[in-house]
């Protein structure tokens, strides 16, 4: 009996000693000191795997292209690429974000691409003082949190919504519009703004389940058909939109499907079939990739073997913006953040200047509409006013 | 609550609901068969469906067809349809059988408690669907438009298309055939015997393991047909297509009376139609909530489902 | 010759010793035979070790193998802690009382949402309490929801109960997604963290460091273990055992099955709500995407894999289902060059099947179950 007790206490003591020694050594990570303006890292934080991977990968590749080009010009690996995969999920984001802030060499972040994970992760970045520039998270409430390190390089839903509504009203001249959304933060937010702007033209409303959670839309389709609407505005992502578009065509509906940048993906044509998808209009607070300056389009294709995706060019610009900042001597997160808050930068997709809340300066906001053509790709249609 | 919409669209909602419900019913037959014989909720059945839905797509892919192809000629459609059905049935049946052999039979040999079977089923379901997900990178896969929907007849604003008729008729025919098989054939008698009392059946000379394998095969067969119909109707499939529909099918099976074949048919059709009505009345976002509320209400009143459990009885 | 004899006798002695160890209940038997003082010290040792887990990365050689890479280790530990909590709660419902619950995430959601509604500036209630103040209300609401789930299902037999509980969890999720009050996918942000400050004014429960959350979770787990253990050894636990074994017989023998079944749901819901409250306090933001059906199924698989019906099994199962996927994060696989995290559920599925086939009673079987299985193995009519 006493033997067992003694062993137990002894074991506890030994383990306590080891653990204590370990705890005391917890900051033993030794990094090479960065010299001058090199030896730092820029991070991409967002979805790289999982069902939302496409958009995240597009952005990460634009980001990495910029850094690679910068390093080539410098002749050495001046700035390193750090990638953090959050799967696009707000539940996973905090743990991965804490990993990110533990690396003291990271001066800036491009991302997060999605609004939900931004809500969860940016408080952690903010607490660590690391500036982030998102090329695609468009939820309006993100800049209402009082964050000082968050910057948005695109227009938010308050601009995209009116853009879509104006297009429906003025260009399509539709007076019978059915509005639906997938109840996601992005989709609901967007469709609410569209609804408000269209006013009396909205003759029906409905909501669906989130992207990927529903496959049978017969009730929605039936309501749209019987309402005799000529336009359906759907706030949501490309998969649901594609399925709805296909079901509408099967039911013989002759109207046009309109949506936001969440639907701007070849996946919509994949779900609906190219024939049914033709003519679908999507808005995007981004300009057409062909309009991107310089050799970006060819460089991207050369490096990644695929065409640049949505927001790849904005991510490219965001990365270059930060690289320019670091190169100008802002080699701490705090200095870089100050730089971001004051600079006006002319990139290949747009000119960037941030308001004190982190939003893009209104005079640089542009919203374009794109149309799906018979091959399932989106081609630029026209720029729309956002007021 | 959108009453006027419901009344106005009653016809179209009913017919589309019946078509969807027919698919659910075929899918539910698998759950109900296995439960009737083994008292086991076969969670892996949704993956049996999934494999079927990919099987026909792969076969059609060999002919170079995808969602953007043109509709072939009538003869071509019939041929491709048969080919797709055969592929789906075979692969679904094989999947069901392998789940039984790999996951359930070893447990039965060890006389494991019922909860262990359920968990193993979950494990099998996870394994299969996630493997498919990784292999397809969780992307959707489009279905060739083999059957171009054409109105066959129109009553008021209710358009009945050729595809819908095909689905409903196919489901009814398969149901009828299965019913006759269970009730009239020798093997069917064996199934009923094992469902009623496994040990007595074994004592009477029924080969239990053969019957069990047969039951899984039959369920897989039904699921394969449901999968092809689902593909044609919805137009895409994904690695978790089985899971989503599986919950609905399981609900339908319980609704009708789990273990009861006609209950599965009734439950499936009822669920499809009522979901549509609820979606029109309350909004599409409440579609699934409506089916669960319905289930709870019915179980409160009739704890064994609408038609009761009865695979073991002579009149299934 | 003499050496041979002694050699064989010592070998003979070794074998029966091992058998004696096993038949006396192995490690757990040994543990229960020690005096309360020794048991107490050992329990404190284990608890102490658990508190020191955030520093396990420093242990040479094996430390870096254990620590997660793609995700911050203290965050992974916190995840483990609330999964273990959920497993303990589900173990009460499924393991002790034998009620098959496929919708456990519903209680987790109720706890988390109540906290969010009462404390987030986004909520319609505009009460904006601190985290600690919301805890008792959230737990009470969770218990209530357990009763609401339990009451209509009293008459239902095992498998029907499963589908109804599944339906309830889905209804909760759909209501959370589709009603304005619960804000669906937009969710609640700025949920306050647990209170407390260091001497220099910085909050203990901040955003950047997950260790305090883990310690809080661990403390809660210890309290829950003590509570559940006491329940298990009381009349309530014995009633649950009777209900689990044979409900009709229990009813005939005078066990108030209705009361104790409701108790089981209420306590399970309490613990689930506790997990939800802690989750909300750590995360600071939550939306309806978190509470999906797969979550419930995962926790159930964890409980049964670990060994349902006993606390140690539930802890192990809960820890495994959280640890294994997190451990696989951030590792590139050599074939497809994707994050191994993508394979986590496929690997999981295979692991579940393997464990169930080779150890259907679970990794740490409850002794009663193990005895049950031994009896069933000796049953007269063979199954195949």
Q: What is the mean pLDDT of residues A113-120?
A: 85
Cα distance from B285 to chain A (closest Cα, Å)? 5
Return d(Cα A384, Cα A260) in angstroms, integer.
Answer: 13
Rounded CA separation B104/B212 (Å) = 10
pTM of this prediction? 0.84
DSSP 8-state secondary structure symbol assigned to residue C193: P
- The pLDDT-based confidence of A35 (bands split at 50, 70, 90) is low
d(CA B294, CA B10): 19
Environment class of residue A304 by beta-carbon count within 10 Å: exposed (0-12), middle (13-18) or buried (19+)? middle
Determine the distance in angstroms separating the CA of C154 from the nearest CA of chain A, rounded to an integer. 31
**A209–C187 C-beta distance less than 8 A:** no
Which chain C residues are closer than 8 Å to A47 by Cβ?
A: none
Q: Are C283 and A94 in contact (CB under 8 A)?
A: yes
Mutate to test the interface with C, among A15, A47, A91 (most CBs of C within 10 A): A91
pLDDT band at B147 (very low <50, low <70, confident <90, very high): confident
Per CB-CB distance under 8 Å, the chain B contacts of A180 are 284
Q: Is the pLDDT of residue C368 over 90?
A: no
Angle among Cα B146, B148, B149 to the nearest 5 degrees reads: 135
In angstroms, the Cα distances linking C280 to C111, C112, C130, C184 are 9, 5, 12, 15
Residue C11 within any structural domain of the chain: yes
What is the band of A176 on the pLDDT scale with cuts at 50, 70, 90? Answer: very high
Q: CA nearest B143: which of B240, B53, B26?
A: B53
Structure-block tokens of residue C143: 């218990």
C88 and C42 in one domain? no
- The residue with tokens 């069990």 is B212
The enclosing domain of C370 has a CATH number of 1.10.3470
Asked if residue C162 and residue C44 are part of one domain, the reply reads no
Show the DSSP H helices in chain C as ranges: 2-23, 26-33, 36-51, 63-66, 73-90, 105-119, 131-150, 158-178, 211-232, 235-245, 247-252, 257-283, 293-306, 311-328, 344-358, 367-377
Domain that holds residue C5: 1-51
Between chain A and chain B, how many beta carbons pairs sit less than 8 Å apart?
A: 99
User: Do the beta carbons of residue C199 and residue C329 sit within 8 Å?
Assistant: no
**pLDDT tens track for B20-42:** 999 999 999 888 988 888 888 89
pLDDT for C234-292, tens place per residue?
Answer: 889 888 888 888 888 888 988 888 889 999 999 999 999 999 999 998 888 888 888 88
Please tell me whether residues C10 and C80 are part of one structural domain: no
Chain A residues with CB-CB distance to C37 below 8 A: 5
Tell me whether residue B173 is exposed, middle or buried, using C-beta atoms within 10 angstroms of its C-beta: 0 to 12, 13 to 18, 19 or more: exposed
Residues C14 and C124 in one domain: no
Q: Which of A95, A97, A140, A181 to mutate to test the interface with C (most CBs of C within 10 A)?
A: A95
Segment A198-218 mean pLDDT: 86
Residues of C in contact with A104 (CB under 8 A): none
Nearest to C178 among A8, A128, A183 (CB): A183
Residues C342 and C250 in one domain: yes
Give the gap in angstroms from C-alpha C148 to the nearest C-alpha of chain A: 26
Q: Are C152 and C259 within one domain? A: yes
Q: Is residue C68 part of a domain?
A: no
Give the tens place of pLDDT for each residue, C30-66. Answer: 777 778 888 888 888 888 888 888 888 777 777 777 8
C-alpha distance from A374 to closest chain C C-alpha (Å)? 33
For chain B, give the number of residues: 316
**What's the confidence (pLDDT) of residue C333?**
63
CB A240 within 8 A of CB A51: no
Q: Considering the domain boundaries, does residue C56 fall inside one?
A: no
If asked whether residues C173 and C312 sit together in one domain, one would say yes
State the DSSP H helix or E strand holding residue A83, giving kind and residue range, or none if neither. strand A79-85
The tens digit of pLDDT for each residue in A331-386 reads 888 889 999 888 888 888 888 899 888 888 888 888 889 999 888 777 888 888 87
Shared domain check, C250 and C148: yes
C160 to B299: CB separation less than 8 angstroms, yes or no? yes
The domain tally of chain C equals 2
* Residue-by-residue DSSP string for B246-268: HHHHHHHHHHH-TT-HHHHHHHH
Q: Do B240 and A272 touch (CB under 8 A)?
A: no
Query: What is the pLDDT, as a whole number, of residue A214?
Result: 84
Clarify whether residues C128 and C176 are in a common domain.
yes
Cα C278-C284-C285 angle, rounded to 5 deg? 110
B192-217 per-position pLDDT tens digit: 888 888 888 889 888 888 999 999 99
Taking the CA of residue B133 and the nearest CA in chain C, the distance in Å comes to 9
C210/C257 same-domain check: yes
**Which residue numbers of A have CB closer than 8 Å to B's CBs?**
50-51, 53, 180, 183, 206-209, 212-220, 222-223, 225-226, 239, 242-243, 246-247, 250-252, 267, 270-275, 376
Q: Do B220 and B29 contact (CB within 8 A), yes or no? A: no
pLDDT at C28 exceeding the cut of 80: no
Please check whether residues C30 and C126 belong to one and the same domain. Answer: no
C240 occurs within a structural domain: yes
Across the interface, do B124 and C159 touch by the CB < 8 Å criterion? Answer: no
Tell me, yes or no, whether C204 and C152 share the same domain: yes
Answer whether residue C67 is part of any domain: no
Residue C257 domain-assigned (yes or no):
yes
> Under an 8 A CB cutoff, do B111 and C300 touch?
no
Q: Confirm whether C64 is domain-assigned.
A: no
């Amino acid at each position: 009996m006493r033997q067992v007790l003694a062993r137990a206490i002894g074991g506890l003591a030994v383990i306590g000693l080891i653990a204590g020694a370990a705890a005391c050594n917890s900051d033993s990570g030794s990094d090479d000191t960065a010299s001058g303006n090199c030896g730092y890292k820029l991070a991409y934080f967002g979805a790289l795997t999982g069902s939302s991977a496409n958009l995240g990968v597009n952005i990460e590749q634009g980001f990495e292209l910029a850094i690679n080009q910068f390093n080539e010009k410098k002749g050495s690996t001046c700035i390193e690429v750090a990638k953090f995969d959050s799967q696009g999920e707000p539940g996973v984001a905090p743990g991965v974000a804490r990993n990110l802030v533990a690396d003291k060499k990271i001066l800036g972040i491009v991302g997060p691409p999605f609004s939900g994970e931004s809500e969860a992760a940016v408080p952690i970045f903010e607490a660590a003082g690391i500036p982030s520039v998102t090329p695609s998270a468009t939820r309006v409430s993100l800049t209402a949190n009082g964050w000082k390190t968050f910057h948005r390089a695109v227009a938010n839903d308050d601009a995209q919504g009116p853009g879509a509504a104006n297009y429906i009203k003025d260009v399509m001249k539709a007076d019978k519009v059915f509005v639906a959304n997938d109840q996601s933060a992005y989709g609901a937010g967007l469709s609410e703004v569209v609804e408000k702007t269209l006013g009396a033209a909205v003759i029906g409303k409905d909501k669906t389940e989130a992207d990927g959670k529903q496959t049978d839309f017969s009730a929605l389709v039936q309501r749209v058909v019987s309402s005799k609407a000529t336009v359906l505005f759907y706030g949501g992502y490309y998969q649901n939109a594609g399925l709805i578009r296909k079901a509408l065509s099967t039911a013989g509906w002759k109207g046009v499907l309109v949506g936001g940048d969440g639907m701007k993906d070849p996946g919509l044509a994949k779900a609906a079939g190219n024939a049914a998808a033709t003519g679908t209009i999507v808005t995007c607070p981004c300009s057409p990739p062909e309009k991107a300056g310089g050799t970006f389009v060819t460089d991207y294709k050369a490096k990644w073997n695929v065409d640049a995706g949505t927001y790849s060019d904005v991510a490219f610009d965001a990365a270059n913006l930060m690289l320019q900042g670091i190169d100008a001597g802002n080699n701490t997160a705090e200095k870089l953040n100050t730089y971001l808050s004051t600079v006006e930068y002319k990139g290949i997709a747009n000119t960037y200047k941030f308001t004190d809340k982190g939003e893009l300066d209104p005079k640089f906001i542009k919203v374009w509409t794109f149309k799906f053509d018979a091959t399932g790709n989106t081609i630029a249609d026209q720029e729309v006013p956002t007021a | 609550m959108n009453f006027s919409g419901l009344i106005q669209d009653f016809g179209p909602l009913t017919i589309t609901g019946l078509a969807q419900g027919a698919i659910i019913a075929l899918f539910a037959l698998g759950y109900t068969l296995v439960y009737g014989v083994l008292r086991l909720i076969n969670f892996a059945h949704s993956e049996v469906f999934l494999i079927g839905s990919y099987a026909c797509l792969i076969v059609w892919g060999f002919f170079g067809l995808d969602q953007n192809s043109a509709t072939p000629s009538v003869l071509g459609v019939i041929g491709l349809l048969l080919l797709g059905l055969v592929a789906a049935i075979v692969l679904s049946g094989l999947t069901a059988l392998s789940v039984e052999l790999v996951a359930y039979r070893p447990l039965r040999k060890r006389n494991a408690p019922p909860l262990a079977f359920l968990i193993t089923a979950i494990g099998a379901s996870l394994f299969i669907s996630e493997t498919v997900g990784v292999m397809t990178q969780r992307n959707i896969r489009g279905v060739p438009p083999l059957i171009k929907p054409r109105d066959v007849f129109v009553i008021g604003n209710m358009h009945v298309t050729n595809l819908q008729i095909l689905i409903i008729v196919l489901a009814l025919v398969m149901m009828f055939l299965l019913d006759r098989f269970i009730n009239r054939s020798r093997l069917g008698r064996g199934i009923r015997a094992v469902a009623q009392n496994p040990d007595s059946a074994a004592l009477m000379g029924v080969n239990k393991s053969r019957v069990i394998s047969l039951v899984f095969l039959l369920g897989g067969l039904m699921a394969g047909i449901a999968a092809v119909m689902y593909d044609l109707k919805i137009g895409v499939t994904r690695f978790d297509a089985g899971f989503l529909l599986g919950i609905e099918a399981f609900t339908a099976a319980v609704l009708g009376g789990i273990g009861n074949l006609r209950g599965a048919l009734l439950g499936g059709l009822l669920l499809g139609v009522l979901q549509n009505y609820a979606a029109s009345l309350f909004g599409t976002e409440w579609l699934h909530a409506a089916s669960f509320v319905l289930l709870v209400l019915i179980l409160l009143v009739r704890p064994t489902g609408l038609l009761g459990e009865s695979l073991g009885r002579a009149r299934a | 010759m003499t050496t041979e004899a002694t050699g064989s006798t010592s070998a003979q002695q070794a074998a029966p010793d091992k058998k004696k160890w096993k038949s006396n209940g192995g490690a757990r038997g040994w543990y229960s035979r020690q005096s309360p003082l020794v048991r107490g010290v050992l329990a404190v040792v284990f608890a102490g070790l658990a508190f020191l887990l955030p520093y396990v990365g420093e242990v040479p050689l094996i430390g870096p193998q254990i620590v997660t890479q793609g995700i911050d280790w203290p965050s992974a530990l916190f995840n483990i802690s609330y999964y273990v909590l959920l497993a303990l709660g589900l173990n009460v419902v499924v393991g002790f009382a034998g009620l098959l619950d496929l919708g456990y995430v519903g209680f987790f959601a109720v706890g988390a949402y109540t906290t969010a509604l009462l404390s987030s500036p986004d909520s319609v209630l505009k009460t904006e309490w601190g985290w600690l103040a919301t805890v008792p209300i959230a737990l009470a609401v969770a218990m209530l929801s357990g009763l609401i789930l339990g009451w209509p299902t009293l008459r239902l037999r095992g498998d029907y109960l499963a589908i109804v509980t599944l339906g309830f969890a889905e209804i909760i999720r759909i209501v959370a997604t589709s009603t304005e009050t619960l804000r669906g996918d937009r969710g609640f942000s700025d949920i306050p963290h647990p209170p407390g400050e260091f001497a220099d004014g910085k909050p203990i429960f901040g955003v950047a460091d997950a260790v305090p959350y883990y310690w809080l979770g661990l403390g809660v787990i210890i309290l829950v273990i003590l509570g559940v253990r006491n329940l298990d050894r009381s009349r309530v636990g014995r009633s649950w055992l009777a209900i689990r074994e044979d409900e009709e017989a229990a009813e005939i023998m005078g066990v108030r099955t209705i009361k104790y079944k409701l108790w089981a749901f209420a306590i399970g819901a309490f613990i689930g709500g506790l997990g939800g409250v802690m989750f909300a306090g750590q995360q600071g933001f939550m939306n309806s995407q978190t509470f999906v059906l797969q979550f419930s199924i995962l926790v159930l698989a964890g409980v049964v894999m670990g060994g349902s019906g006993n606390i140690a099994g539930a802890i192990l199962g809960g820890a495994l289902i959280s640890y294994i996927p997190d451990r696989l994060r951030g590792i590139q696989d050599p074939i497809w060059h994707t994050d191994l995290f993508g394979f986590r559920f496929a690997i999981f599925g295979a692991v579940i099947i393997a464990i169930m086939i080779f150890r259907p009673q679970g990794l740490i079987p409850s002794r009663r179950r193990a005895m049950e299985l031994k009896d069933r193995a000796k049953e007269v009519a063979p199954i195949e």
